Amino acid sequence: MLPGETDLLLREYPMKDATERFSGRVGAYLKYRQGYPDALIPLIEKKSGLTRHSVVADVGCGTGLLAECFLRNGYPVFGVEPNQEMRESAEQRLHAFAGFRSVAGSAESTGLKSNSIDLVTVGRAFHWFNTRRALAEFSRILKPEGSCAIVWNQRKGSSFMRDYDSFLQAYCDDYREMRSARAEQRKLLEDLGFCLSTLAHSERSTMKQLRGKILSLSITPDPQHPRFEPMLKSIEELFHKHESDGQVRFEYNTLVYHRSCLADLNSSILESATDEARVSLGGSE
Residue 176: inside a domain = yes
Q: For the domain that residue 174 is a member of, what is the CATH number?
A: 3.40.50.150
Residue 105: inside a domain = yes
Residue 211: inside a domain = yes
pLDDT of residue 43: 98
SS (H, E, C) the chain: CCCCHHHHHHHHCCCCCHHHCCCCCHHHHHHHCCCCCCCHHHHHHHHHCCCCCCCEEEECCCCCHHHHHHHHCCCCEEEECCCHHHHHHHHHHCCCCCCEEEECCCCCCCCCCCCCEEEEEEECCHHHCCHHHHHHHHHHHEEEEEEEEEEEEEECCCHHHHHHHHHHHHHCCCHHHHHHHHHHHHHHHHHCCCEEEEEEEEEEECHHHHHHHHHCCCCCCCCCCCCHHHHHHHHHHHHHHHCECCEEEEEEEEEEEEEECHHHCCHHHHHHCCCCCCCCCCCCC
Residue 6: inside a domain = no
pLDDT of residue 266: 61
Residue 243: inside a domain = yes
pLDDT of residue 166: 95
Q: Which domain holds residue 246?
A: 17-272
Residue 148: inside a domain = yes
State the average pLDDT for the chain.
Answer: 85
pLDDT of residue 233: 97
Residue 166: inside a domain = yes
Number of structural domains the chain divides into:
1
Residue 8: inside a domain = no
Average pLDDT by stretches of 10, the chain with 285 residues: 33 42 52 82 97 96 94 97 93 96 97 98 90 94 96 92 95 81 87 95 94 86 91 97 97 96 73 49 38
pLDDT of residue 11: 33
